[in-house]
Amino acid sequence: MLNPLAAGSRLVRRTIAFQAVAVAALSLALLAKGPAWSLAALAGGGAIAAGGALYGVLALGGGIAPAIGALARLVLGLLAKWLVVIATLFIAIAVAKLPALAVMGGAVVALVAQVLAMASGHRNGNP
C-alpha cells in the first residue's frame, strides 16, 4: 500500500542521514586546517540539516488535510527552515566569528547531500 506521508517521513530521515555523513566527512577533512574550521563546517551543515528536519516535522506532521491546510503547512515549514538556516549561519559567522568559507562549505555540502539523497530514493524506476 502506498502511504505518501510515511514515504515523505522516510525521505526526510534518509536525507538527514546523508547530510550528517557528508558534513562529518568535510569536518574531519577540515580538522587538518584547525578546529575552528572543523566546527564551522559542522555549523554550516548542521544549519541545513536542522532546517530540513524542522521542515519535515512542520510540513509532514499534520496528517491528511484539505488542500489549503496542506499548502499552509508546506509554506510554514519552508519559511521556518530558511529562518533557522539564515539565523544559524549569521550566528556562526558574525557572532561566533567562525571562518565564513568553512561555514558556507558545510552548507553547500549538506545541500548537495540533500539532492543526492532525494535522487537516490527511487527504488522501482518511477520518477
Q: What pTM was estimated for this model as a whole?
A: 0.89
Task: Give 40-53 pLDDT, tens digit per residue.
Answer: 999 999 999 999 99
Per-residue pLDDT, averaged over 90-111, amounts to 98
Residue 61, φ and ψ in degrees, nearest 5: -85, -10
Residue type, 68: I
Please, what sign has the CA dihedral across residues 30, 42, 86, 78?
A: positive
Place of cell 502506498: 2
The more confident residue out of 40 and 6 is 40
d(CA 62, CA 51): 18
For 67, residues 6+ apart whose C-beta sits below 8 A from its C-beta are: none
Domain boundaries, the chain: 4-119
pLDDT in the model for residue 60: 85
Residue 58 has a pLDDT of 93
